Copies of this chain bind each other. A is one copy, B any other.
Amino acid sequence: MEDRCTITHQHPEAVERARRALPGELEVLELADRFQALADPSRLRILMALITGELCVCDLASVAGISPSATSHHLRYLRKARLVRSRRHGNVVYYRLACPILRGLLEKARECALPGMEVASLGK
């Protein structure tokens, strides 16, 4: 009923320990943004495709199964997040991964493949 626990902390020492383990405000926001970049199926496909090597927007659209326009929007997002870099060659813009650790990160996430994790209905 009351939306504040009457006792400030149930376990002050554990809370203090946890609080010390947390990174600063800015780093938490950066981390969340980085995960947000990976939290969309289309962006995930784009990034995984780029693990195999440089690809142009049109290629990426084809691999990810979305329109070139949507692809370009996603790439702008990823560029701002500094996860990819681009290089123009004539008419065509080639994208590549900017962060080599991404590959390991994605592999790590796939390892954590929990059987029976619920899907596509997590929100709510």
Q: Which residues of A come within 8 Å of B, CB atoms?
A: 3-5, 7-11, 14-15, 17-19, 21-23, 26-41, 44-45, 48-56, 58-59, 61-63, 67-69, 77, 80-82, 92, 98-99, 101-102, 104-106, 108-114, 116-120, 122-123
Contact = CB atoms under 8 A, between A and B. Distances in A.
A49 B21 contact: yes
Contacts of A8: 62
A112 to B, nearest CB: 4
A26 B99 CA distance: 25
Contacts of A5: 58, 61-62, 68
Main secondary structure of the interface of A (DSSP, over half): helix
A109 B123 CA distance: 23
Contacts of A55: 11, 14-15, 18
A56 to B, nearest CB: 5
Contacts of A15: 55, 59, 62-63
User: Closest 5 A-B residue pairs measured CB to CB?
Assistant: A18-B49, A36-B39, A35-B38, A35-B39, A101-B112
